[in-house]
Structures are given as structure tokens and as C-alpha cells.
Chain A
Amino acid sequence: MDFGFKLSPSSAVNLDTVDHRRFDRLAQLVPDALTCIGCGSCSATCTASAWTGMSVRKVLLGLQRGQDAEVDKMLSGCMLCGKCTMVCPRGINTRQLILTLCRLDKKGEMVR
């Protein structure tokens, strides 16, 4: 039945069901990931953000919230240009973070 409007699917995140393995492994391999303060400098400078909404801040947040599809979409637009590394006030090596993340599968295992 068409009511002329529809309800958006729920975007609530149930933290109890989130699979943390990928983020935990990342934090183990690149401990810098834990030092992000979410200032958004990376979001502001990102070359790829115009196309995929890429932002390292959102990637880290998305990983902890289990938003895997959004994270993968953002990562697949990253051009590794390194601007986020240059502006990060915490000195996080964002390129290493992104490359490491790209090498981890959904279970947080390094692909070989």
C-alpha cells in the first residue's frame, strides 16, 4: 500500500552485537588508532571525501559501531595522498592505518 511516504530503516546501532575484531586487530597493529580525538582535521582535508565521504575519523568511528559497509565504501575511495597525515594533530600515521585496514578481512585476520 502506498501512503505517499515511507519510514526510513532504523539506523540505531546495537553495540552488543557489533563485531569488534577488525578494530581490535587494527589497534593492535597500529596503536595510533586509539589516540584519535575525532577532531575532524582529516575529514576537512581529505581529497577523496568529495566522492566517497571518506574521513579517517569516520572510518574509526564506523569500525567501532559495526558500520562495515560504510567503512568499506569510504576506504575504497582513499587515494593515500597523505594530507590527513600532514594535518593530524595527534601525529597518527593515517596512511599506515588505512593500508593495514585494507589488509584485514572481516574477522580481523591479515590476508596472505
Chain B
Amino acid sequence: MRERFASGFDPFVIPFVIGMAFVLGYCLIAMIRVICQLPKADRKRFLLSLITPKYIWMNLRDIFLNCLIHVKLWKRNKVLGYMHSSIAFGWFMLIVLGHLEVMLFVPERIHLFYYPIFFNYFVAETEQTLQGALLMFLMDFFLLMVLSGILIAIIKRFASRIVGMRRTTRLSALDRVGLYSLWAIFPLRLLAESFTAHISGGSFMTIPANWLFRQFLGNDLNALPTWWAYSIALCIFMCVLPFTRYMHIPAEMLLIPMRNAGIKIRHPRKGFALLEVYSCPGCGVCIDACPMSVRKTNCKDATVYLNRQLRRGNERRIAEISDKCLLCGKCSAVCQVGVQGPELRVAQRERRKFALTPSYTGMDVQPLTAAVAGKGGVLYFAGCMTQLTPSIRRATASLLDKAGVRWHLMDPDGGLCCGRPLMMAGRSEQARELIAKNLEIIRASGCDTLLLSCPICYKVFKEEYPLEGVRVVHHSVFFQELIAAGKLSVTHEDGLRLVWHDPCELGRGCGIYEQPRQALATAGEIVEAGMHHAESICCGGSLGSLTLSYEQRQPMTQNALDNLTVADPDQIVTGCPLCLATFVRMADRPVRDLAEVLDEHC
């Protein structure tokens, strides 16, 4: 290889240089801004993690696997996985190999950062070398890889069902500019490299293309305009990148180390929340996943649109989307970059101002405390929702007696709320007051185990209550252990087909999927729903939503029921009194709590 131009410069590189300088400058400022917005302790923690070997390795691995290879997406959808990894990894390799070529053949030009991108224009092939041919081959190979990804992307845009997505995001105007310029970059690169392939050399794609073009275009006058077009396409893409969904490319590289360092959302709009908003790739996977999407009008309330409105600062829509969400957490479960939709929404709710703030400090819980004081053993907190479904409480009590457990009911005549509904409504300060009151009762009882039959309570007791020395356990786990220990003998009923509905708070919220199924399998035959485990569909009754009306929730409940009954089970079994009460109204077959099913077979 030798250089064609002594100056090593041509005016067509200017658009690329402008675009590159702009995007690098913008991202650098944005990164510093996000880091500065973090609370002091979080910032220190994050910066420390950047120099800890364990985290460095974790960050590099996660960035490689998620940003370049898109492992999570591969697991979900092979076509989309290929599309994203071919574009990201192919492009990355083109850049790396471009630098390698410059280092090998014209090392004195390595300081010019446009040189590796436009290498083929600036050099001429002198002799065939194996090294050169191999690099040329790899360049063509990765270009082909990227082009195949772009082809799938174009097909996806016009017929998303082919790649397995029912709905895809409606793009904003700037997103379209970014998208079309991204589509244009690589075909233009192929054209540009093909036009100069007889000078710079090429491989299996560029040389035949060059030959083809020479058959009807007798001169080299097309080469320079195509290189200009390639450079301009790059410039447009990079100039609009910060204002489009493609901002997720740089943002995700900061999001991964921050998440690894354990940073959480502390402010609704600043720091980590801002970074999550920018990390949203706008792919729209959350639209199909959202249980609200069964109503077409609610498609625009998916997390992807929340992120868009947060970027635009549209307060009316932000409030509307934040309040409507069921907080089931499925968008987070399917999100490829791990944007925490529910947490983002709760943070927005916490921002609200109220004219009237409730206070629970004056409530006298002395009678409740006295009733359980010093009893020890297992303390069973039924909670508000179980009080509404007394059959669950009776069945749980009966099972505990059958197993010979020493237990006491914490709220025989109704107690305080656990605080989780307040937290979901964004009133966590008030929830703290309830937590303090409940804690007083639990501590006074001297229990070693706190048993809950409601996953909503379970999650908050587990995460927010400082209960060292007390085991907090959901009844499904507790009964599974009693069965495994032989304290409860459940008779198996042959031919009884049971489907387990994973309640959002228990499954995605606390990661409990298998114990309820194991317990249930002792009573009957388990069949699975269409979507289950982390993909299970919210019953629609969730306390998370503040504004959805009963009528609006009905189609969501019906959709969840349709999903549960695909294998035609005899009974639907769940572990959440709220799911139960919601399903019972519309189900065409018995809906029961795990405790009821076990008690019947005990």
C-alpha cells in the first residue's frame, strides 16, 4: 500500500470531522453532567467502581456482550438479535480493522482520526500481499454483515410482524432522519469503496462491484461524489444522534458501569434517571409486553413513550403516563438495556405536591401490640387484601394448624396497611410512618418468622422493613418447605390440571417462581400459561395504577385470563389475594389461592 495524496487530506472528510467532533463533545458534556447530578455518595461509589478490578472486568464484559453482541436480544428474538449485533459488531469491527490497516500500512497517519474511516480513498494498492488481502477480505465481510443487518432493519420498519414484533415504535421526525441516514451510510460506503477498488484494492464484494460499474461507467468521476455522500451521511447521523433514540449507543456505555456499581434512581429527572431515559433505544419491545396494550389507546403509555416525553419535558403527558401504569414490571423484564420503567414512574409520582398530607403518627396501635406481645413463633400478617378474601386466611390458618406450627395472627380484626400502596403512589415518607408502627407490633411479638399471604405486603416487608433476625416469608414458600419437610402431607389428585399465575410482585418483584409450583405439584398436575415466569401478564387489578378505571382494566384482566387458560386447566391458582379477587370476577373456571388448594388436599 502506498499513499495517493501527499497531504493526506481531501475536503470531503470535513463533514465527517464536524459530525464526529460534535457528537464526541456533546457526549462528553452530557456524561460529566450526569455524573455531577448524582448524589455525592453515589458519585463516589461510581467513581470508585471504575478503578476496582472486579468492576472493570464486569463492565467490559457487559459492554461487549450487551452493546456489541446484544446477547439479551438474541435470547429473546434471533432475527432482531442478528440485526442488532450485525450492525453494532460489524460497524465496530470496520472501525477496528480500519485502524489496524492504517497502523500497518501508513502508521504516520494514525493521528488523523478520519483516516481509518476513508482509508480506501487515500491509498493505492502496490502489490498483492496476503496480509492486505486478508484485511480487505475482512473489511468486505464485516461490511456485508452490516448490510445484511440494515436489510433486516428496513424490512422490520415496513413489516414488523416478519421479525416477530406486533407493534413497533412510532418514530419522531428526528428519529426518522437518524434512521434514514443510518440506512444510507453502509450502502454508500459499499458504493464508494467499489468505485475506488481498482486503485485501492478490494475483496469479494467491492472488486466485482467495481468491475460491474466499469462496464457502463467508463470513468472514475463517480468516486469522489460517492465519498462525499458517504461522509455527509455520517455527518447527518452523528449530528442528529444526541437528539434521537440513537443516543442510547453512547448512553448505554455509561449506564452499564453505573448499574454495576449499584446506582439507583434518586431524582425523577436528574442523574441516573436522566441516563436511563437517554439509554432507551426506542425499540418498542415494551409496547407488546405492556399489559395495558390490549387497549389500543394505551399503547402510547408504554415506557418507550414515557422516555420520549421525559426527553421533551411534556409535563402533562409525563404525569398521565406515570399515573396510569400498573407497575407490573414487565417492561423492565423484557427491556434490552434494563430501563426501569416502574421506578422511573414512581419517581415522577414522588414529585407531586399535595395540599393535604396524611399522618399516621397519632394512631394508637397499643391494642394490636398487646394482642401479640411476647407470643414468639410465627407471626402471620394477613394484610388488607387477605382481609377482603377471608377464605385465604382460613385456609392458611388451617394449614398452619395441620402442620403443628406455633403461630399467631397479627391483625385478627384488621391492622395497619403495610405501606406498599403508599409507596406506589409516590408517598414514601408517609409509608415510613406506617412502617414504624408495624415494626413496633412485630418487634413486640418477639416472633422469629413473619408470614405473609399477600405478595404486595411481602415485597415491602422484605425490602423496606429493618427486620434483622426475623425471617420474612411468603406463604407459598413456607408451605413448600413444610411439604418438603414432611410436616404437611398433601394427597395428589390425578387428573387435576392446575395453572399457576405468577403475581407481579411475587415473581418479577421478588423472584419467587419455583417454590409455589413445587408446592402445587403435590396437589395436582401443573400446566403452564402461554406466558409465565418473568413474562407473566398482570391481572389488571394492580394497585400500581392510580388512574385506570374499572372498565379500562377489564380487557387487561380478560387478556391475562386468556393467557392463563391456553392449556385448558381445571383451576387457576395464584398466590396474591388481589389477583384472585380480580380474576374471580371474570374467570370461566375456579380461581383459587395456593393455600386453599393445599388445604383441600391435606
A and B pair up: yes
Chain A residues near B (Cβ < 8 Å): 32, 45, 47-48, 50-51, 72, 75-83, 86-87, 91-93, 95-96, 99, 101-106, 111-112
Residues of chain B in range 391-433 having any CB-CB distance to chain A below 8 Å: 413-417, 419, 421-422, 425, 427
Query: Bound complex: CA of A76 vs CA of B550, how far in Å?
Result: 25
Across the interface, do A82 and B354 meet the contact criterion of CB distance under 8 Å?
no
Asked if B314 CB lies within 8 Å of chain A CBs, one says no
CB distance from A40 to the nearest CB of B (A): 15
B551: CB under 8 A from chain A?
Answer: yes
Q: A91-B551, A95-B425, A102-B357 are in contact. Are A79 and B546 (CB under 8 A)?
A: no
Docked-complex contact A80 and B417, CB < 8 angstroms: yes
The answer to whether A111 touches B543 (Cβ under 8 A) is no
- Taking CB as reference atom, which chain A residue is nearest B356? A102
Instruction: Verify A103–B354 contact, CB threshold 8 A.
Output: yes
A47-B414, A81-B384 given; 11 more Cβ-contact pairs under 8 Å:
A48-B417, A51-B362, A75-B356, A78-B358, A79-B419, A79-B421, A82-B578, A91-B549, A92-B550, A93-B550, A96-B546
Q: Is the beta-carbon distance between B359 and A76 smaller than 8 angstroms?
A: yes
Q: Is the Cβ of B543 less than 8 Å from the Cβ of A95?
A: yes
Whether B356 contacts A83 by the Cβ 8 Å rule is: no
Question: CB within 8 A of A79: which of B416, B541, B549?
Answer: B416
On whether the beta carbons of B425 and A83 are closer than 8 Å, the reply is: no
Inter-chain contacts of B422 with A (CB < 8 A)? 79-80
Interface membership of B75, Cβ < 8 A: no
Tell me if B388 and A93 are in contact (CB < 8 A).
no
Contacts of B421 in A (CB 8 A): 79-82, 95
* A72 and B356 contacting across the interface, CB-CB below 8 Å: yes
Q: With A and B bound together, what is the CA distance between A56 and B385 in angstroms?
A: 18
Is B20 on the interface with A (CB-CB < 8 A)? no
Q: List 27 A-B contacts (CB under 8 A).
A: A45-B388, A47-B417, A48-B417, A51-B360, A51-B363, A75-B356, A75-B358, A79-B358, A79-B421, A80-B421, A80-B422, A80-B543, A81-B543, A82-B578, A86-B541, A86-B581, A92-B550, A93-B547, A93-B548, A95-B543, A95-B546, A103-B352, A103-B353, A103-B355, A105-B355, A111-B353, A111-B354
Complex alpha-carbon distance, A81 and B414, angstroms: 12
Please encode chain B, from 476 to 519, with 1 for each CB lying within 8 Å of some chain A CB and 0 for all others.
00000000000000000000000000000000000000000000
Binding site for A on B (CB under 8 A): 352-360, 362-364, 384-385, 387-388, 413-417, 419, 421-422, 425, 427, 434, 541, 543, 546-551, 578, 581
Partner of B578, one of A50, A86, A95, A111: A86
Cα(A86)–Cα(B385), bound, Å: 9
Contact between A81 and B550, CB atoms less than 8 A apart:
no
On whether the beta carbons of B578 and A102 are closer than 8 Å, the reply is no
Chain B residues whose CB sits within 8 angstroms of the CB of A72 once the complex forms: 356
Choose among B388, B415, B419 the residue that contacts A83 (Cβ–Cβ < 8 A): B388
Q: Which residue of A lies closest to B427 (CB)?
A: A80
B residues near A112, Cβ cutoff 8 Å: 353
In the complex with contacts A80-B425, A81-B417, A96-B546, A87-B356 CB distance below 8 A: no
Q: Would you call B416 and A47 a contact (CB within 8 A)? A: yes
Check B427 against A82 for contact (C-beta < 8 Å): no
Residues of chain B within 8 A (CB-CB) of A50 are 413-414
A82 touches B356 (CB 8 A): no
Instruction: Give complex CA distance A111, B551 in Å.
Output: 29
B356 near A86 with CB under 8 A, answer: no
Bound: A78/B425 CA distance, A: 12
User: Are B356 and A32 touching (Cβ within 8 A)?
Assistant: no
Q: How far is the CB of A55 from chain B (nearest CB, A)?
A: 14
CB nearest neighbor in B for A112: B353
Residue in B closest to A90 when the chains form the complex, CB atoms: B550
The closest CB in chain A to the CB of B415 belongs to: A47
B547 near A96 with CB under 8 A, answer yes
Contacts of B547 in A (CB 8 A): 93, 96
Q: When the two chains form their complex, are residues B360 and A79 in contact, meaning their CB atoms are under 8 A apart?
A: yes
In the assembled complex, the Cα of A45 lies from the Cα of B416 at a distance in Å of 13
Question: Bound complex: CA of A111 vs CA of B387, how far in Å?
Answer: 35
CB distance from B356 to the nearest CB of A (A): 4
Complex CA gap A86/B414 in Å reads 16
Residues of B within 8 A of A32 (CB): 549
- Distance in angstroms from A79 CB to nearest chain B CB is 4
The distance from the CB of B458 to the nearest CB of chain A, in whole angstroms, is: 15
Top 6 A-B pairs ranked by shortest CB distance? A91-B550, A79-B417, A81-B384, A81-B417, A105-B355, A80-B421
User: B388 is contacted by which of A75, A86, A99 (Cβ under 8 Å)?
Assistant: A86
